[in-house]
Amino acid sequence: MNTITKNITEKSIYASNNGMYGPYGGMFVPPVLEQKLLQLAEIFESQKGTSGFEQELAYYLKSFVGRPSPLFYAHRLSKHIGSKIYLKREDLNHTGSHKINNTIGQILLAKRMGASEIVAETGAGQHGVATATAAALFGMKCKVFMGSRDAERQKMNVSRIKMLGAEMVIVEAGRGTLKNAVDAALGYYIEHPDVFYLLGSQVGPHPYPTMVGYFQSVIGREARKQLLEAEGRLPDNLIACIGGGSNAIGLFTDFLDEESVRIFAAEGGGEGPVFGKTAATLSMGKPGVFQGTYSYALSDEAGEVYPTASIAAGLDYPGVSPQHALLKDTGRASYHLITDKEAIEAYYLLSKLEGIIPAIESSHAIALACKILKGKPNEISIINLSGRGDKDVERDLS
């Protein structure tokens, strides 16, 4: 496989022009995809920031997605923890999560590239729903790959994807999780390089991490403005869950240069810090090439990826964003393992205290807040509530 990795000593927490975050990132792909991805990178760079593209994106984010999403002062959760907490309500977006921000952005690029077919992977199903939604909006053919285990535990989203007119491809390989869905989607992309691969998280080869981070950065821009209006100052802490890293970087980006703002992310810890029983990539993994990029991965000395386990399908992934890898190494952000048990407790806690049922993925961030914010009444924090929990209500979470 080829790679385009230059300037690997660059220490910026932002991507260089070729998608490197320090030593992380790059494009590790077969030659058949290299030119396609370079073309996508060129289109993205030529369109972002232009009035025509940004106005169209802003129109759909406002009138179709429903942005800006509210910043809600969670007064009962704040009282319970002993610290002032705001929730960035990405769960109120059309389709129920942050994923729609990215799918609208990418499908506008697909339209400009003349694409007629969209392909995507999904874990919790939220990206699959958001992709199928965007494809329906623009009248494009859509194929969504989903692991068999994830399809079983996220049945409602499978039904939504089909209702929106997309073709569901259930992947039986491996453990039937997000990793296997990505493998299958990438395989289809290699065999059909004329389709547009709409990747859902901040992972994969360049330009996807940069592109996804750009489209999700609207979360943090809004949150910053909203908190300044509510409190007259910046937050002390930001907290988000992290699988691949898109919702987290969406909240974090606008605050990365603010040294007074501490940044925390909650990983899908599964049963705990045991290889094969966790998906806590940054807590337990090491750098290596995985699914087209160089970043942290849960792998052994031979580079073989360990099976992962998390109650949250959207966090059940052995890789992670190259930007988050650098944020970990530089100490700008800290990453914490949250177990299934802790996430389930937080899932019910927020539901009962605030009348908000969070996605089990987002519940990891609530659980982390409960651990690190206790007894800090003078601090203000923003938790990114990345998705709603309708999809998890009928699951046995015991």
Residues noted as catalytic: 99, 121, 386
Q: Identify the sign of the CA torsion 344, 172, 95, 324.
A: positive
Rounded Cα distance between 341 and 311, Å, is: 9
28 φ, ψ to 5°? -105, 85
The H-assigned helical ranges of the chain are: 31-47, 51-60, 75-81, 99-112, 126-138, 148-153, 155-163, 178-191, 208-216, 218-231, 246-252, 281-284, 322-330, 340-354, 360-372
Q: How far are the Cα atoms of 24, 221, 235, 301, 319 from residue 14, in angstroms, in the given order?
A: 11, 16, 21, 29, 19
Look at the chain and count its residues. Answer: 398
Identify whether the C-beta of residue 112 lies closer than 8 Å to the C-beta of residue 375: no
Tokens of 362: 């987002």
Is the separation of the CB atoms in 331 and 325 below 8 Å? no
CA distances from 11 to 14, 77, 385 (A): 8, 38, 30
User: Which residues does 46 contact at the CB level (< 8 Å), separation at least 6?
Assistant: none
- Tell me how far apart the alpha carbons of residues 387 and 157 are, in angstroms, rounded to a whole number: 13
